[in-house]
């Protein structure tokens, strides 16, 4: 670069080049770190921990505070995911097709960065320099700065673009020079090779599919299935409500599907009952003596003569017993 821009006689460039071992950006250029190149995210987490965790907290308070922090992060993720999937940003650039494709593909935070590159491409001059078979080489420069050029290689056979600024290799999003080449070739969508899945709205699709096939946690599986079906149903409602004929077709198909699933569930329950009939379990004996039926209560017999109707104490003919004298009522 020093020889390219004729800066060999510049004293500041010479002094800076002598300190090239301290250039962190030069060594990180072209390497992908997932947008983590400094300790700013760690410092942000530490500042959040200081607001919830104190030195004098007990172990129980520490665990509760950590759960609060985790729920805070999860809530932010849910809000960002909802804004990405169920809201549409306003298109402001002149490249509406590329901007609309980016808004439908990338998450909201990444779309803001991609839109900056699209805005820069609108003020970019592009010139085709060399055409070598299926490869095209473009020279791009910003409006008002014609001395600084960037060369972009476009492989039409494989659908791959590569810029010498190495912005895509560093951030995994297309640079403004690549967007300028797409505009020059009248390409309305971003090639698949330039779309990093970790920045898209469907970044969790593989994770959800893997959890759906995992029978270890039934509650987690149901939630994943519910989320996937909810996303598909919301897309169906968005498309079907725009036309009356599509609306009635979607309604009929949904009703037929629900009826089919209900019948299948009833048939499966009936089949299970026929194959293996389940009866009520045997009732075990309760603790203690059983209650006797009052209808069949056995009458008590006299212990002296064995006749029912009187007891030994009230039996007057018992041997050795003195009968009671009759008492006159008048007396």
- The model's pLDDT over 204-240, given as tens digits with 9 standing for 90+, comes to 876 655 554 555 556 666 766 777 777 778 778 878 8
Q: Do strands 124-132 and 135-142 pair parallel, antiparallel, or not at all (unpaired)? A: antiparallel
78 pLDDT exceeds 80? yes
Each residue's pLDDT tens digit, 121-136: 988 889 888 888 888 9
Q: Which residues contact 46 (CB under 8 A, 6 or more apart)?
A: none
Q: How far apart are the first and last CA of the chain?
A: 147
Stated pTM of the model: 0.55
Give the pLDDT score at 182. 92
Give me the pLDDT at residue 49, please. Answer: 85
What's the rounded mean pLDDT across residues 10-35? Answer: 73
Q: What is the dihedral of CA 18, 22, 25, 26, to 10 degrees?
A: 40
* Residue closest to 203 by CA, chosen among 107, 111, 101: 107
Task: Round to whole Å and give the CA distance between 256 and 56.
Answer: 62
Q: In this predicted structure, what is the pLDDT of residue 101? A: 93
SS3 (DSSP) at 200 = strand
- Contact at 8 Å (CB) between 316 and 323? yes
Residues 6+ apart with CB under 8 A from 101: 188, 189, 190
pLDDT at position 256, please?
Answer: 85
Q: Which tokens belong to 148?
A: 């600084």
Chain segment 89-104, per-residue pLDDT in tens: 999 998 999 999 999 9
What are the structure tokens assigned to 39, written together?
């300790």
Q: Please give the distance of CA 180 from its chain centroid, rounded to a whole number.
A: 35
- Given a contact cutoff of 8 angstroms between Cβ atoms, the answer to whether 13 and 5 are in contact is no
Q: Is the pLDDT of residue 181 over 70?
A: yes
Average pLDDT (294-311) is 68
Range in 245-249, 262-266, 322-326 with the lowest mean pLDDT: 322-326
Domain spans, the chain? 31-86, 96-196, 205-256
Mean pLDDT taken over the chain: 78
Tokens representing residue 194 in the block: 């330039």
As given in the structure block, the two tokens for residue 274 are 């026929």
Closest to 181 measured CA to CA, from 132, 144, 135: 135
- Which helix (H) or strand (E) element contains residue 124? strand 124-132
């Amino acid at each position: 670069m020093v020889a390219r821009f004729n800066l060999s006689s510049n004293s500041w460039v010479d002094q800076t080049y002598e300190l090239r071992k301290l250039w962190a950006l030069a060594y990180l250029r072209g390497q992908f770190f997932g947008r983590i190149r400094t300790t700013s995210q760690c410092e942000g987490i530490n500042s959040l921990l200081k607001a919830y965790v104190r030195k004098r907290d007990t172990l129980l308070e520490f665990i509760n505070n950590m759960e609060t922090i985790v729920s805070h992060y999860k809530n932010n993720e849910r809000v960002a995911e909802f804004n990405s999937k169920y809201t549409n940003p306003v298109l402001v650039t002149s490249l509406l097709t590329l901007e609309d494709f980016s808004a439908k593909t990338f998450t909201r935070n990444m779309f803001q960065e991609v839109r900056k590159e699209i805005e820069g491409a609108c003020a970019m001059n592009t010139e085709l320099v060399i055409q070598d078979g299926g490869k095209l080489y473009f020279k791009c420069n910003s409006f008002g700065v014609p001395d600084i050029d960037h060369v972009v290689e476009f492989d039409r056979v494989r659908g791959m673009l590569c810029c010498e600024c190495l912005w895509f290799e560093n951030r995994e999003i297309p640079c403004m020079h690549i967007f300028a080449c797409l505009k020059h070739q009248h390409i309305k969508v971003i090639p698949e090779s330039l779309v990093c899945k970790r920045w898209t709205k469907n970044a969790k699709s593989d994770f959800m599919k893997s959890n759906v096939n995992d029978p270890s946690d039934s509650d987690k599986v149901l939630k994943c299935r519910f989320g996937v079906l909810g996303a598909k149903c919301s897309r169906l409602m968005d498309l079907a409500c725009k036309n009356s004929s599509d609306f009635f077709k979607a309604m009929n198909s949904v009703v037929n599907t629900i009826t089919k699933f209900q019948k299948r569930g009833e048939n499966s329950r009936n089949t299970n009952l026929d194959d293996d009939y389940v009866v009520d379990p045997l009732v075990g004996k309760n603790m203690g003596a059983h209650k006797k039926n009052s209808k069949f209560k056995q009458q008590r017999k006299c212990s002296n003569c064995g006749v029912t109707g009187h007891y030994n104490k009230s039996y007057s003919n018992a041997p050795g017993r003195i009968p009671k004298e009759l008492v006159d009522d008048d007396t």
